[in-house]
Amino acid sequence: MAVRTRFAPSPTGLLHVGSVRTALFNFLFARRSVGGFILRMEDTDRKRSTPEFEEAIMEDLAWLGLCWDEGPDTGGDRGPYRQSERLSVYLEYAARLLKAGRAYRCYCTVERLEALRRSQLEQGLPPRYDGRCRNLRPDAVPEGASHVVRFMVEDGKVEFEDMVFGPMRFDARDIGDFIIVGSDRIATYNFAAVVDDALMGVTHVIRGEDHLPNTPRQILLFRALGFGVPGFMHLPLVLSEDRTPLGKRHAGLSIRALREEGYLPDAVLNAVAHLGGYPGWSGEEFLSLDEMVRRFSVKRLSRSPSVFDVNALKRMGRAAMERASAEAVTGLVSRYFRDADRARLERAVREVKGEASTLEELRSFLAPLLEEPEPTEKAREVLARPYVPGLLRALRDAVEGVEELDGENSRKIMKGLKRPGLKDREVFMPVRAAVTGSLQGVELNKVLAILGKEEVLRRLERFTGT
Ligand code: GLU
């Protein structure tokens, strides 16, 4: 049987690194065999779902390269892939359960349910519906009252083998008859997800650990509807550095924010793939998505929550830059430097890209190399020291004496500027200040080589006075 997995986000917020982990595992699991990967929008919460979030989620997934075979935009044989377009399908299956006596209409008011809940909690019991409407006689139905549809949960045990958490066992008595269709005739999450997973032919449900308590309910529904039960794999929680589960509060870890900061997609994927010390690849190894597919195996995935480490993301950012071709990266940063000489831009990118973790950072490294910046306050102080004009004139003479500047002769020239009584930094700092306007940045030899002879001479002119 061909594997089919699905990623089922609710379009109520932006995609973040925690949900990308779920998407990535679904993707890898499907691609490892020649399976299908489905994107399903769980947008039945009409108040909180928006078309903008849906669009953003799809854009971010595509940016990461996690492309789906069937989905709201691409369509497919088992669509539609938006739950809001499937409401009548859920009602049809609810009707089947009602007819088979596996579900019933419940007319209990919110007030009664609230009172019931309170009294159960007071008695130290787990709150659950007491089954009052299970056997309601037709003449006892309150006139004009609205109703929900509840699934009838029979006593017994629900057992399944989770691919990460191992054998799981739940007592159905702790569950209670739960709602499958609300009074607004909209199916609840548990019911809609089961009907969709079955009709869409999903063979493996891969999702966050927070959904583990839903699984016994869903298994009961699969069985009652006469569907096969898929395999389950719950991924341990991803925590932020403050040790709380990742969510909307961590806006900086949304894929949108990381994209805006200028991380490359592979950097984000690698940071996510390494969460929890994923054993398919070792600690710092950087892999392309194709390599991940080849090496993916579900074995030995750790059960403990993992913390998303921003420093690891930065390391992966640098690794992604290093791996990307200078040409490709030049293409990505060229919008920041429209007037720059393309050859110099590419030369600069080649030299410095491995030192930056994001495109924004790369831009800050490149800017003083491509546009002559005004010296900062601190740079000006250094340039005002009395020995500096003489030092810069010596530099000018040395640069004039070479055909073209490269890493090798730049190093020699810098060495030749050393004077007894001047510390190394007293030589390097004024040179850096004169040619880049700042006291920090890319290695000085590289700076000189990237700027080239002519540009270095041009930039020195204003400080050498002749
Ligand atoms: N819409 C659910 C969520 O975003 C998906 C749960 C599932 O995968 O079954 O958490």
Q: Which of 306, 314, 270, 300 is nearest to 288 (CA)?
A: 270
Classify residue 450: in a domain, yes or no: yes
pLDDT value for 74: 94
Q: What separation, in Å, do the N-terminal and C-terminal C-alpha atoms of the chain show?
A: 80
- Bridge-partner residues for 205, per DSSP? 232
Both 355 and 432 in one domain: the answer is no
- Nearest C-alpha to atom 4 of ligand 1 is from which residue? 9
Evaluate whether residue 170 is within a structural domain.
no
Distance 98 CA to ligand 1 centre (A): 26
Q: Does the residue 163 lie in any domain? A: no
User: Given the CA of residue 197, which atom of ligand 1 is nearest to it?
Assistant: 9
Same domain, 382 and 420: yes
**Which amino acids bring their CB within 6 angstroms of ligand 1?**
8-10, 42, 193, 207, 211
Choosing from 189, 209, 215, 248 the residue with most ligand 1 atoms within 8 A of its CB, the one to mutate for a pocket test is 189
Q: Are 332 and 400 in the same domain?
A: no
Whole-Å CA distances, 154 to 54, 108, 121:
38, 20, 22
Protein residue with its CA nearest to atom 6 in ligand 1: 8
Closest to 131 (Cα-Cα) out of 191, 92, 177, 187: 177
Cα angle at 338 between 334 and 340, to 5 degrees? 90
- Based on the fold, state whether residues 361 and 381 are members of the same structural domain: no
pLDDT score of 373: 81
Q: What is the pLDDT of residue 283?
A: 62
The pLDDT of residue 405 is: 93
CA dist 197 and 203 (Å) reads 8
Strands 238-239 and 231-235: unpaired
> Are 330 and 383 contained in the same domain?
no
Contacts of 198 (CB under 8 A, 6+ apart): 222, 225, 227, 228
Q: For residue 457, what pLDDT is reported?
A: 95
The reply to whether 394 and 363 lie within a common domain is no
Mutate to test the pocket of ligand 1, among 10, 24, 48 (most ligand atoms within 8 A of CB): 10
User: What are the phi and psi torsion angles at 10 (to 5°)?
Assistant: -95, 125
* DSSP state letters, 182-243: -TTSPBPHHHHHHHHHHHTT--EEEEEGGGGGGHHHHHHHHHHTTPPPPEEEEEPPEE-TTS
CATH value at residue 447: 1.10.10.350
> What confidence score (pLDDT) does residue 317 get?
96
Last residue of a domain, one of 305, 338, 370: 370
Q: Flag whether 293 is in a domain.
A: no
Substitution site in 24, 202, 207 for ligand 1 pocket (most atoms within 8 Å of beta carbon): 207
pLDDT tens digit string along 320-361? 999 999 999 999 999 899 888 888 899 899 989 999 999 999
- Regarding whether 460 and 420 lie in a shared domain, the answer is yes
Atom of ligand 1 nearest to the CA of 22: 8
Probe target for ligand 1 pocket from 205, 211, 232, 237, with the most ligand atoms within 8 Å of CB: 211
Q: Answer yes or no: is 195 within a domain.
A: no
Instruction: Print the domain residue range for 460.
Output: 377-464
Whether 415 and 458 map to the same domain: the answer is yes
Give residue 284's pLDDT: 64
CA of 230 to the centre of ligand 1 (A): 15
Please say which residue of 370, 390, 405 terminates a domain. 370
pLDDT along the chain (466 residues), means of 10: 94 94 95 92 94 97 97 95 98 98 95 94 91 89 91 95 95 93 96 98 96 97 98 92 79 91 96 76 79 82 86 94 95 91 89 93 91 90 94 95 92 92 93 93 89 93 78
Residue nearest to atom 10 of ligand 1 (CA): 9
Active site residue 453: no
Question: Ligand 1 centroid vs 94 CA: distance in angstroms?
Answer: 20
What are the pLDDT digits (tens) for 237-251?
Answer: 899 888 888 776 787
**Total tally of structural domains belonging to the chain:** 2
Query: Which amino acid residue places its CA nearest to atom 3 of ligand 1?
Result: 9
Q: Is residue 205 part of a domain?
A: no
Q: Calculate how far, in angstroms, residue 328's C-alpha sits from the geometric centre of ligand 1.
A: 36
| The ligand 1 atom nearest the CA atom of 42 | 1
| Same-domain check for residues 345 and 406 | no
Of the candidates 248, 412, 415, 423, the residue annotated as catalytic is: 248
Determine the distance separating the centroid of ligand 1 and the alpha carbon of 440, expressed in angstroms: 47
Residue 371 CA to ligand 1 centre (angstroms): 49
pLDDT at 342 (0 to 100): 87
The verdict on residue 115 lying in a domain is no
- Does 417 reside within a domain? yes
Check residue 282 and give its pLDDT. 62
**Number of Cβ atoms within 10 Å of the Cβ of 177:** 20
| AA letter at 301 | L
Kindly tell me the sign of the dihedral angle through the C-alpha atoms of 257, 260, 265, 267. Answer: negative
Same domain, 452 and 399: yes
Based on the domain organization, do 361 and 412 belong to the same domain? no
**Residue 156: what pLDDT?**
94
Please tell me the distance between residue 205's alpha carbon and the centre of ligand 1 in angstroms.
10
- H or E element in which residue 162 lies: strand 157-162
Pair (390, 449) in one structural domain: yes
